[in-house]
Structures are given as C-alpha cells and as structure tokens.
Amino acid sequence: MSLRVEAVPCLQDNYLWLLRDNPTGAVAICDPGEAAPAIAAVEGAGGRLDAILLTHHHGDHVDGVEELKARFPGARVIGGAPDLHRLPPLDEAVKEGDTVSLGAARAEVMHLPGHTTGHIAFHFVADHVLLCGDVIFALGCGRPLEPGGMEALWQSLRRVARLPPSTRLCCGHEYTESNARFALSVDPDNQALRAEAEAAGALRAAGRPTVPTTLAQELAANPFLRARDLAEFTARREAKNHFR
C-alpha cells in the first residue's frame, strides 16, 4: 500500500482528505469544504497538488475548490458527471466504472446514490482506500436528502459492505461519538460497537480524528450496515433523525 491518507479537519465537523501517492509524490485533496486548511495541508506535504476529488455537491465539501484551484492551477478538479450542473467547474467529469489516476495510484469511481442522487466515491482498490464522502460514517451513515434516497442509500451501503473488509473508509465528518450513542441504543450488547465507541471517546479526548475507520470494524459495529433489510434500515435511519 503506497497511498498515504490523512484526515484534515475543516469547518465545524468536516474532514477533507489529503492523499499522497508515495512512489511519485502526487498529491490530491478530497472534498475541500474550506480552502485554508486544504492549502496548509498541501503546503505541508511539499506544495504540489495534482487533483481535487469531489464526492458530491454540498457546500461543506466543495466551497474551498475555487480558492484551492486558484492557488494550485495545475490541479485537475474531478467530480461526478451526473452533478455537473451543481458542482464547481470540473476538468474531469467521471461516472461509475471510470478510473481516476493519482501518480501511480488508481481509483475506480463508484456511483453511490442516497445521500444525494449524484454521490460518487473513489475506490483505490490496490490501496484499500474508499473516499466515501457522506455515504457512510464511523458507526453511522449519511442522511437521504433527495427523492428515492432511502432505498438508494441502502443499496449503496450493500455495495460498500461487499468491498474487502480491510478497506479504509475515509468519511466526510467527525460524527463518531454522537453516532455511537445512537448505535448503542439500538445494539447495546454488541462488544465490537462498545469497543469502537470507547476508542472514539479516547481519540476525541486526545484531539485526534476517529477516522478512517475500516469496513471490517463497521461490519461488526455499524447499525446501518448491520440492518437485516430495507425496512429495518429505514426504521433505524428515521429513528436516528429524532434521536437526542
């Protein structure tokens, strides 16, 4: 595995991601919701930016693109073709099955609708990395916000569940502690969940991100991945919206 990934906090509780392909030194930023932390991360990694990867059109994932691109004009802005009309200007519009290159690293584009209809993820297959935006979080999942979203999100999570369990899930938000409270209300005796919740508390107390998580961990602990069927998933997703 030659791809280094680093969660960079931005805005209130978002993460943008810094990726570096070690053999070539190529660098990408995923989902820059804010320019300043993205620019600082790129400068810290050597001042080279090859690509800006976008999972979906929400402002907290794209609002830093214009300023980041202005600072590093050689960076290719890459996002989903279905959302061309509501993403910042793209240099590469991609769809399910397309391949995106970062130096020697290769990502397969997965269309994972549900949170939004055009949501995509970048799967660096050989590196076991999934840039999954707001599809899945540690112990949680995104909120379906557009028509047909509930079933689409369920199907997208089914696809994620079939990836190699060692896959590192690079999520768009630090929601783990509040997700853990809901998850424990659903599945209080799950030992893997209790362990992940405890570990998250310790990491946050130390000021560190709880992500990336791994698919193996989420298969064992995440109540949305563990739902038996669409009906149970829907009930949990709706209960989560009202959970305090």
Q: Edge-to-edge strand order for the sheet containing 99-102?
A: 99-102, 105-111, 120-124, 129-133, 168-171, 213-214
174 binds Zn ion (CB under 5 A): no
Q: Are strands 3-10 and 140-141 parallel, antiparallel or unpaired?
A: unpaired
Q: Is 111 a catalytic residue?
A: no
> Which one of 111, 119, 123, 173 is the catalytic residue?
173
119 binds Zn ion (CB under 5 A): no
> Which residue is closest to Zn ion by CB?
58
Q: Exposed, middle or buried: residue 15 (CB in 10 Å: 0-12, 13-18, 19+)?
A: buried
Q: Is 58 a catalytic residue?
A: yes
134 binds Zn ion (CB under 5 A): yes
What letter represents residue 152's amino acid? A
Distance of closest approach, residue 56 Cβ to Zn ion, in angstroms: 6
Asked, as a colleague might, if the bond just before 212 is cis with ω within 30 of 0, I would say: yes
Q: Which residue, 127 or 134, is less far from Zn ion as judged by CB?
A: 134
Q: Is 242 a catalytic residue?
A: no
First to last CA, the chain: 40
CB 236 within 8 A of CB 224: yes
> Which one of 58, 111, 119, 123 is the catalytic residue?
58
Q: Which residue, 98 or 134, is less far from Zn ion as judged by CB?
A: 134
Q: Is 119 a catalytic residue?
A: no
Distance of closest approach, residue 142 Cβ to Zn ion, in angstroms: 6
Helix (H) or strand (E) holding 122: strand 120-124
Task: Map tokens 């600082």 to a residue.
Answer: 40
Q: Which of residues 26-65 bind Zn ion (CB under 5 A)?
A: 58
Residues 6+ apart with CB under 8 A from 169: 130, 132, 136, 138, 160, 211, 212, 213, 214, 215, 218
Q: What φ, ψ does residue 202 adopt, rounded to 5°?
A: -65, -40
Q: Is 85 a catalytic residue?
A: no
Q: Which residue, 20 or 58, is less far from Zn ion as judged by CB?
A: 58
Sequential DSSP letters for 29-57: EE--SSHHHHHHHHHHTTS---EEE-S--
Q: Is 56 a catalytic residue?
A: yes
Distance of closest approach, residue 60 Cβ to Zn ion, in angstroms: 7
> Which one of 60, 83, 98, 127 is the catalytic residue?
60
Distance of closest approach, residue 61 Cβ to Zn ion, in angstroms: 6
> Which one of 111, 115, 119, 123 is the catalytic residue?
115
Q: Is 134 a catalytic residue?
A: yes
> Which one of 21, 31, 57, 61 is the catalytic residue?
61
Distance of closest approach, residue 179 Cβ to Zn ion, in angstroms: 15
Q: Which residue, 103 or 114, is less far from Zn ion as judged by CB?
A: 114
Binding residues for Zn ion (CB under 5 A): 58, 134
List residues with catalytic annotation: 56, 58, 60-61, 115, 134, 173
